[in-house]
Amino acid sequence: STIEQRVAYEKWERSNRMSLMIMKSSISIAIRGAITDSNDAKTYFASVEEQFKGYSKAYASTLIMKMLTTRYDGTSGVHEHIMTMNDMDSKLKGMEMEISKGFLVHFIMTSLPVQFDPFKINYNTQKEKWKMSKLIAICVQEEERLKVERSDFAHLATAAPTRKKSKGNDRGKKKVDLAKSINKARASGTKPVQATKCHFCRKVGHLRKD
């Protein structure tokens, strides 16, 4: 072989070795064992591609099922929920399973809880198709409105009305205190304080002079 061929082969060998090292280091050991090994980077890459075709289909099925079953639980925030749905859509798009934006908006709407039903009805009555940015902005605004509404309701439910003390209760309390004072004086052997009696009914607790 000529000098030029030898130099070219050395460059190819170095590039081939580096390519194999990069590919193998980026694949986990568990998956790497299922791929047919080869000293040729091009052949090894073809084996990787073949291996991941089945994986991509399974992963796409998992993403679709997750999108179908995902519901907003009201804890993470509606903005985060919509971004999660968008992320799954982007992954499906990368596997050539793109979902139209209009369908995705409807899909996200159906994932919202019943508290958003008036909001969804309002959207369905409009002819305008919302973009994702508008959907996020309006959903966040609606969620904030619902939070304020729940807060006001909770405040009204927990606020207890104040009651005025009736004069009758005060009069009864005075009678009880007077009876306790008399009993205490009798127990100690001292002469109890003479309580004023009513001249009419001869009962203690009120006074009628004539």
- pLDDT per residue as tens digits for the range 86-127: 988 888 887 778 888 888 888 899 899 888 888 888 888 888
Q: Is the pLDDT of residue 9 over 80?
A: yes
Whether residue 32 is found in the same domain as residue 6: yes
pLDDT digits (tens, 9 = 90+) for 169-183: 555 555 556 556 656
Residue 99 vs residue 184, higher pLDDT: 99
CB proximity list for 175: less than 8 A, separation 6 or greater: 204, 205
The whole-number pLDDT of residue 15 equals 92
Residue 74 vs residue 209, higher pLDDT: 74
Q: Within a 10 A sphere around the Cβ of 101, how many other Cβ atoms?
A: 15
Q: Is residue 204 very low, low, confident or very high in pLDDT (cuts 50, 70, 90)?
A: low
**For residues 61-72, average pLDDT:** 87
Q: Of the residues 157, 175, 193, which one is the last residue of a structural domain? A: 157
Could you tell me what percent of the chain has a pLDDT over 90? 6
**For residues 1-14, average pLDDT:** 85
Whether residue 81 is found in the same domain as residue 153: yes
Helix, strand, coil proportions of the chain in percent (round to 5)? 70, 0, 30
Give the domain range for residue 112: 76-157
Whether residue 53 is found in the same domain as residue 8: yes
Whether residue 81 is found in the same domain as residue 150: yes
**For residues 43-52, average pLDDT:** 80
**For residues 25-43, average pLDDT:** 80
The whole-number pLDDT of residue 179 equals 59
Whether residue 111 is found in the same domain as residue 151: yes
Number of domains the chain is built from: 3
Whether residue 171 is found in the same domain as residue 142: no
Whether residue 80 is found in the same domain as residue 151: yes
Whether residue 89 is found in the same domain as residue 153: yes
CB < 8 Å & 24+ apart, contacts of 93-101: 95/56, 95/59, 95/60, 97/60, 97/64, 101/131, 101/132
- Backbone φ and ψ of 195, nearest 5°: -85, 145
The whole-number pLDDT of residue 81 equals 92
CB proximity list for 200: less than 8 A, separation 6 or greater: 208
The whole-number pLDDT of residue 207 equals 55
Q: Is residue 206 very low, low, confident or very high in pLDDT (cuts 50, 70, 90)?
A: low
The whole-number pLDDT of residue 152 equals 60
- Could you give the CA distance from residue 26 to residue 42 in angstroms, rounded to a whole number? 16
The whole-number pLDDT of residue 79 equals 92
Could you tell me what percent of the chain has a pLDDT over 70? 69
Asked whether the beta carbons of 175 and 205 are under 8 A apart, the reply is yes
Does the pTM of the predicted model rise above 0.85?
no
Whether residue 153 is found in the same domain as residue 176: no
Q: Of the residues 69, 103, 120, which one is the last residue of a structural domain? A: 69
Whether residue 112 is found in the same domain as residue 174: no
CB < 8 Å & 24+ apart, contacts of 93-99: 95/56, 95/59, 95/60, 97/60, 97/64
The whole-number pLDDT of residue 61 equals 84
Asked whether the beta carbons of 90 and 101 are under 8 A apart, the reply is no
Residue 197 lies inside a defined structural domain of this protein: yes
Whether residue 133 is found in the same domain as residue 82: yes
Whether residue 147 is found in the same domain as residue 85: yes
Residue 162 lies inside a defined structural domain of this protein: no
**For residues 35-48, average pLDDT:** 86
Q: Within a 10 A sphere around the Cβ of 81, how many other Cβ atoms?
A: 22
